[in-house]
Amino acid sequence: MAKRTKIKDILKGGFEGQEVTVKGWVKTFRNNQFIALNDGSSMSNLQIVVDFENEDPSKLKRITTSAAISIEGTVIASQGKGQAFEVTAKTIEILGDSDPEKYPLQPKKHSLEFLREIAHLRFRTNTFNAVFKIRHHLAIAIHQFFHEKGFVYMHSPIITGSDAEGAGEMFKVTTLPFDKTPRTEGGEVDFKKDFFGKATNLTVSGQLEAELAALAFSEVYTFGPTFRAENSNTSRHLAEFWMIEPEVAFADIHDNMDLAEALLKYTISHVVENCPEELAFLEQRLSDEEKQKPQHERSDMTLRDKLNFCVNNEFQRLTYTEAIEILKNSNPNKKGKFQYPINEWGADLQSEHERYLVEKHFNKPVILTNYPKEIKAFYMRMDDDNKTVAAMDILFPGIGEIVGGSQREERLDKLMARMDEMHIPHHELEWFLDTRRFGTCPHAGFGLGFERLVLFVTGMTNIRDVIPFPRYPGSAEF
Ligand code: ATP
Ligand code: MN
């Protein structure tokens, strides 16, 4: 195939007077003369000027929106407004037609919900071009951050034989037939006859596996898909989402907070530096959307203001107990505005409380620590008061919880006592308990929800619009 020059490179300059081959999809074709061509390398289109008087009319008819074409031509300085360079076409080849009668997108703004239903064209819109470029840059920045610090990228399994993690409802993995399920004498499903010889599920978290690796490599992280069969139809939950889970030996909860804050700041500034075009577009999109809202709900910060604010300010750190005091005495609580009023210590915080703390009271990212043991997982380290555990959640404006983590309980007796209190059978987790039997040590880690980070950085409002193929209750298209 003829060597293709990317549109991004042509628009950067340095090709003037040169013959190039460009390939891409037609955005628009005006006056039988001007093609706006996009190849995904840049959000900007390349203008192709067609010598329509000397071109076969039947070919011109096939230059329709979304058709794939290949152009050979010369790069020249553009006379028109809006672009510095354009290409005058010498030959035009239609690679793939796009029938305008059947093409589902009109040249107007479509709802994000509608676009979700046409996965192939969704990628060709400006919004999703920007979102998925930023998603890519965030993923790279995350690997870069950990790699530079000497962490080992550890692949935790997607199919797991342990169902005791308790992070959420699990999807079962089985090859047993539904109609003739083998049964034990007692009438239970006989998983010994199943593919793995036992019941298996899709993972809800790679943490326990990461703990094993951390107690050998000192510093590891996972970055992979996780699955939760929770029926939470919200703008912040997916049934399949990606999670980053660092786990660090010889670290306490304070080291853990420092690491999480540094990771978030590093990745956000990476996007600010590397994706100016995408951010400018999404910022405009967000501000257009804000204009639809009533005055008092509008933000006075632009998208990039928000990102920079987050990078340049220390996250507010406070304990759960301090947060409860603030919430108890808050105006919305006193005026009965919370759906779940805060009356006493021990209450689980709902998203309305998290948002109050982050968006009204502190007006910046918040790290909440030392939650009551009753509302947190069994593996979190017991504090000296025997009431709270060394948990830490990071709450972000507009998002709520973005990170959940803790210092882990490294003392075998305390860990087993906690499992007993929570009715978690030991035999399921002997392999995990062994880490506490053979060279245990203080260690800590957290889970960062990748899509929640993408949501924050792109300023999108629904988590379904920041993952290429969203899975949520009632929907697993494509
Ligand atoms: P939430 O209270 O928001 O449901 P969680 O307490 O269940 O979160 P963890 O189990 O601590 O969350 O998971 C770690 C991180 O994974 C969360 O901080 C969040 O960023 C992300 N996360 C959790 N559940 C989902 C989900 N269903 N979809 C997308 N991201 C999620
Ligand atoms: Mn949850």
Least confident of 232-236, 327-331, 352-356: 232-236
For the residues 313-317, what does the mean pLDDT come to?
Answer: 97
Same domain, 23 and 131: no
Please report the atom of ligand 1 found closest to the CA of residue 463: 29
CATH number, residue 67: 2.40.50.140
> What is the rounded CA–CA span in Å between residue 160 and residue 208?
11
Give the other-Cβ count within 10 Å of 270's Cβ.
18
The answer as to whether 178 is a domain residue is: no
Tell me the C-alpha distance between 89 and 168, whole Å. Answer: 57
Q: Are 137 and 154 in contact (CB under 8 A)?
A: no
Q: Are residues 161 and 45 in the same domain?
A: no
- As beta bridge partners, residue 406 has 391, 445
What's the CA-to-centroid distance between 228 and ligand 2, angstroms? 8
Task: Write down the pLDDT at residue 164.
Answer: 57
CA distances from 105 to 60, 121, 190 (A): 20, 8, 51
In this structure, which ligand is nearest to the CA of 232?
Answer: 1
Cα separation, 90 vs 99, whole angstroms: 24
Ligand 1: distance of its center to the CA of 172 in Å? 19
Cα distances (Å, whole numbers) of residue 248 to 103, 180, 301: 52, 46, 36
Render pLDDT for 43-76 as a digit per residue (tens, 0 to 9).
999 999 999 999 999 999 999 999 999 999 999 9
| Predicted local confidence at residue 165, as pLDDT | 61
358: CATH: 3.30.930.10
Domain identity same for 89 and 133: no
The verdict on 40 and 162 lying in the same domain is no
- The pTM of this model reads 0.95
Are 80 and 134 found together in one domain?
A: no
Q: How many domains does the chain have?
A: 2
> Which residues, judged by CB distance below 6 Å to any ligand atom, belong to the binding site of ligand 1?
167-168, 228, 237-238, 241, 243, 401-404, 447, 449, 451-452
Residue 307 covered by a domain: yes
Say if residue 27 is in the same domain as residue 149: no
Same domain, 154 and 22: no
Distance 237 CA to ligand 2 centre (A): 8
Mutate to test the pocket of ligand 1, among 243, 456, 460, 462 (most ligand atoms within 8 A of CB): 243
Percent of the chain with pLDDT over 70: 99
Q: Are strands 400-407 and 443-449 parallel, antiparallel or unpaired?
A: antiparallel
Which numbered ligand comes closest to the C-alpha of 167?
Answer: 1
Q: What is the DSSP letter of 2?
A: P
pLDDT of residue 163: 66
Residue 47 sits in which domain range? 7-107
Q: Percent of the chain at pLDDT above 90?
A: 86
State whether 266 and 291 are in the same domain: yes
Per-residue pLDDT tens over the stretch 435-460? 999 999 999 999 999 999 999 999 99
- Identify whether residues 414 and 290 lie together within a single domain: yes
**Considering only CA atoms, which residue is closest to atom 15 of ligand 1?**
449
